[in-house]
Amino acid sequence: MDKKLKEVTDYVTLGMDSYKEKISTTQNYISQPHVELVFFIDLKNNKFYWTGKSYPTPSQQSGLVRISDLRTHFFELDDVGKVMILGCHDLTIFNPRSDAVASGWRKNVKEEFKLISKKKNPTIVLQHPLTTDCVNVWTAAWNNLTTTISSIEKYASAGRWPHITYHSNKKGKPHCTLENVLQKTKRGDTIDFIVRMDQR
C-alpha cells in the first residue's frame, strides 16, 4: 500500500481508536479502557510519528488511556516545517470557555500544552475529530489557537459528518451543512476528500 500512496503523496495521517462500544462524544459515558491514537507517516523517509488523545471528554476520562507526554504532539519535517497533531478533543485545550472550569490535572494539561505550543511554534496543525457536524463545536478553539500561537499558517481537520444521534436537531438533521463544515475547519490551500458510506 505504501507504494501506491507514494505515487500521490509524501505524507499520510490517520486516527485510530481501540474498540469501544460507544463513539467518544461529550454525551457518551465510556468507562471501559480504550485509547485513541493519531499517526503521521513520512512515506519518503519511512518514518512515522504517533501520539494520542491527551485531553479526554469528561464522560470518557475514567476509561481513556491518556497520552501524558505532550511533546509527542509536535515534530518537524524538513520540507514542511513544524507540525502539531491533535486527537479529537485535544483541540478543546485552546477553547477559552473551558479555561474557567478546568481544574486539577485538566488545568495542568491545558497550561503545559499551551506552553509547549509556544515553544515549538508549529506552522501546521492537523486535528482528527471523530465527528463534526457543526462548526460551532471547534470555532472558539481554532480562533484562540491561531491567536495564541501566531506561527500557525495552516490547519485542517477531518472526521465523520454527520453523527445524527449526537448533534442532530429535533428534525433529525445535522446543525450545519457539509459544505459549511469543510469551509470552517481548515486554513490554507487544501483538497477535500469526501467518502460517502452506503447506509443501507
pLDDT tens digit sequence for 76-87: 999 999 999 999
Nearest to 162 by CA among 196, 124, 189: 196
Give me the chain's average pLDDT, please.
86
Residue with the bigger pLDDT between 137 and 5: it is 5
Q: What is the pLDDT of residues 93-124, one digit of tens each?
A: 999 998 989 999 999 999 999 999 999 999 99
Residue with the bigger pLDDT between 53 and 180: it is 53
Residue with the bigger pLDDT between 81 and 179: it is 81
Q: Given pLDDT bands bounded at 50, 70 and 90, which one contains residue 200?
A: low
Residue with the bigger pLDDT between 131 and 83: it is 83
| pLDDT > 90: percent of the chain | 52
Residue 132's pLDDT is what?
73
Distance of CA 172 to the CA centre of its chain: 25
Rounded-to-integer distance, Cα 87 and Cα 158, Å = 11
Residue 149's pLDDT is what?
96
Rounded-to-integer distance, Cα 45 and Cα 158, Å = 24
C-alpha cell at 104: 486539577
Q: Which residue type occupies 168?
A: S
Q: Given pLDDT bands bounded at 50, 70 and 90, which one contains residue 22?
A: low
Rounded-to-integer distance, Cα 135 and Cα 142, Å = 10
- Alpha-carbon Rg for the chain, nearest whole angstrom, is 17
Q: What is the mean pLDDT of residues 32-53?
A: 94
Q: For 150, what's the count of Cα atoms within 13 Å in the CB-facing half-sphere?
A: 0
Residue 165's pLDDT is what?
47
Rounded-to-integer distance, Cα 49 and Cα 39, Å = 6
Nearest to 86 by CA among 107, 63, 105, 114: 114
Question: Lowest mean pLDDT: which of 38-42, 114-118, 120-124, 155-159?
Answer: 155-159
Tell me the pTM. 0.85
Q: Cell numbers 515553544 correspond to what residue?
A: 119
